[in-house]
Amino acid sequence: MICPRCDSENVNILTKAPVDDAWEVYICETCCFSWRSTESSEIRDPEKYDKRFKIDPDKISKLDQIPPIPELK
Amino acid sequence: MAYKDLREFLKVLEAEGQLVTIEDQVMPEPDLSAIGRSAPDVENGPAVMVKNIKGYKNSVVLNVHGSWQNHALMLGLPKDTPVKEQFFELDKLWSKYPIKPVWVDDAPVKEVKITEGINLFDVIPLFRVNKFDGGFYLSKAIIVSRDPEDPDNFEKQNAGTYRIQVKGKDLVGIQPLPFHDIAVHLKKAEEKNEPLPIAICLGNDPVLNFMASTPIEYVQSEYDFAGALKGEPIELTKSEAGKLDIPARSEIVLEGYIIPRQRKIEGPFGEFPGSYSGARLQPEVKIHTITHRVNPIFENLYLGMPWTEIDYLMALNTSLPLYRQLKRDFPEVVAVNAMYTHGIGVIISTKSRFGGYGKAVAMRLLSTPHGMPYSKIVIVVDEFVDPFNLEQVMWALTTRVRPDKDVVLIPNAPGMPLDPSSEPAGMHTKLIIDATTPVAPDKARDTELLDVPEKADFWMDYLKKSINEVRRNK
């Protein structure tokens, strides 16, 4: 399985539904995106995921830090 | 007060016709988000209890604070109390601070305790709040933490609302912005490379949520304020670990610790200014214990293009501390309306003691702890203009303002990073519009304002009674 947001293959099942195996939730270990198997294809499908919200895995480490990590005392 | 916790408040809402219960099965997406968006748009927006969510055991409640009617009932007032009256009633209750909490042994939130095999999805019916959120969020949690350098100080303990992204069965991300109290706690813990114990409290007495999103001082207790608003002590109990004081009657409490000196990608998340905040590197929380009531209710909040529930929740509790901080030094201030996007927009009404007074009051607002980062547009109107009445405020803007003298820009000042116009994120140019009537030594053209005709009060009562009769007979 491929992460719809960052196209990483580093995806795991986060959980199954507590009742009736109604759905599964997946988590991308690269960009922390999570989604449910019953969501629309615009959320599940890497081809259809809105390009404005796509994440480039190479840029994750350069994102702003909130809050900044302080100096050790 | 007529209620002691969320469950009892829902009974109050039901009795007042302010609660809708949905028994039909709904999907987590997109139904819950759509219900949260729609409820505050319904006239006198009700809270909505959703009983049957596909794949989940427990129920969800949305829009508990999402109308002025619900807000009034939270304060123990009749549901038709006008906003301005709610503001002044709140001011009266504020004066009762502090009413200290009590600690109870048989806390309902301890009915069920989980320490092994934790899976947040087993207890909480998580759902995507907005379409391009990075995951499933807790958007109405109260997060409790203590000052690591003064751990026994009750007042320095903080109970605040910060967004929480679920990232694993027992792992969540948190957003402590640098000017939030929890960021003070975290900085002290991280300087020593120590985990910061926290409790994430869900499904709370609505007054607690109200106080957890109120910008009070660092050494003031949200619990003592909540007691003041209720006129009776809040019931607390101790967390299982970390010596935190948590609400005894919350539905669910997740206990864990912020992992020190580590940041992981979090977001985006649809935020209160009506836009997504971007993905950033933020701290994560390891959950080690869950306690909850039997059949817990998951309360969450939809936030979207204003107005949604959050705009009601953060309206008067943003206005009142600002009002009090101004009033202390400038007794001429009559009221403060900071209801617009958590105080990014503020309207102050004040009498002017001398020329330029309106500007000075605005600058004081911009130097308060909340006004400094959040407030960007400050409008000052005369004492006879109701700042909660936008028609009156527009009258003041159109007839009082001399743009060459009364409009001031303060460039490169502190800003609110979630405001998409804050550029760079965290910086604002402030705008002050002084729409007060100039007083000496300032000069204005002589103007005589129109008076209300004599006997207007008599005819107002007459017309009200008449129209009520006409409507009753229809």
For residue range B435-450, list pLDDT tens digits in order. Answer: 999 999 999 888 899 9
Q: What is the pLDDT of residue B147?
A: 97
Q: What is the pLDDT of residue B418?
A: 87
Provide the pLDDT confidence category of residue B242 given band limits of 50, 70 and 90: confident
Q: What is the pLDDT of residue B199?
A: 98
Residues in Cβ contact with B63 at an 8 Å cutoff, skipping those fewer than 6 apart: B35, B36, B39, B40, B45, B46, B47, B48, B70, B302, B309
Q: What is the pLDDT of residue A63?
A: 96
Q: What angle do CA A38, A16, A13 make, to 5 degrees?
A: 90
Q: Looking at beta carbons, which residues of chain A come within 8 Å of B178?
A: 66-68
CB B238 within 8 A of CB A6: no
CA-nearest residue to B29 within chain A is A39
Q: Looking at beta carbons, which residues of chain B come within 8 Å of A69?
A: 190, 261, 263
Which segments within B283-363 are labelled E, that is strand? 284-292, 297-299, 333-340, 345-350
Tell me if B280 and A64 make a contact (CB, 8 A cut-off): yes
Provide the pLDDT confidence category of residue B238 given band limits of 50, 70 and 90: very high
Q: What is the mean pLDDT of residues B232-252?
A: 97
Joined together, the tokens standing for residue B118 give 């934790």
Backbone angles phi, psi at B243, to 5 degrees: 55, 35
Measure CB to CB from residue A19 to each of B27, B57, B178 and give the nearest one: B57
Q: What is the mean pLDDT of residues B227-248?
A: 97
Q: What is the pLDDT of residue B343?
A: 96
Q: What is the mean pLDDT of residues B224-248?
A: 97
* DSSP secondary structure string for all residues of A22-43: --EEEEETTT--EEETTS-HHH
Tell me if A14 and B261 make a contact (CB, 8 A cut-off): no
DSSP 8-class letter at B111: S
Q: What is the pLDDT of residue B151?
A: 95
| Nearest residue to B160 via CA among B229, B214, B236 | B214
Q: How far apart are CA A62 and CA B107, in angstroms?
A: 45
Provide the pLDDT confidence category of residue B425 given band limits of 50, 70 and 90: confident
Q: Is B423 marked active-site?
A: no
Q: What percent of chain B has pLDDT over 90?
A: 95
Measure CB to CB from residue B183 to each of A27, A34, A67 and give the nearest one: A67
pLDDT in tens, A4-48: 999 999 999 999 999 999 999 999 999 999 999 999 999 999 999
Asked whether the predicted pLDDT for residue B215 surpasses 90, the reply is: no
pTM for the model stands at: 0.94
Specify the 3-state DSSP secondary structure of A45: coil
Joined together, the tokens standing for residue B49 give 């209890």
Provide the pLDDT confidence category of residue B154 given band limits of 50, 70 and 90: very high
Find the catalytic residue in B190, B271, B299, B309: B271
CA-nearest residue to B129 within chain A is A35
- Where are the alpha helices (H) located in B193-261, listed in sequence order? 206-212, 222-230
DSSP 8-class letter at B10: H
Return mean pLDDT, chain B: 97
Q: Environment class of residue B443 by beta-carbon count within 10 Å: exposed (0-12), middle (13-18) or buried (19+)?
A: exposed
Q: What is the pLDDT of residue B179?
A: 83
Provide the pLDDT confidence category of residue B194 given band limits of 50, 70 and 90: very high
Backbone angles phi, psi at B270, to 5 degrees: -65, 120
Asked whether the predicted pLDDT for residue B295 surpasses 90, the reply is: yes
Provide the pLDDT confidence category of residue B196 given band limits of 50, 70 and 90: very high
Backbone angles phi, psi at B321, to 5 degrees: -60, -35
Specify the 3-state DSSP secondary structure of B223: helix
CB B184 within 8 A of CB B223: no
Q: What is the mean pLDDT of residues B34-52?
A: 97
Q: What is the pLDDT of residue B474?
A: 81
Asked whether the predicted pLDDT for residue B12 surpasses 90, the reply is: yes
pLDDT in tens, B366-379: 999 999 999 999 99
Q: What percent of chain B has pLDDT over 70?
A: 100
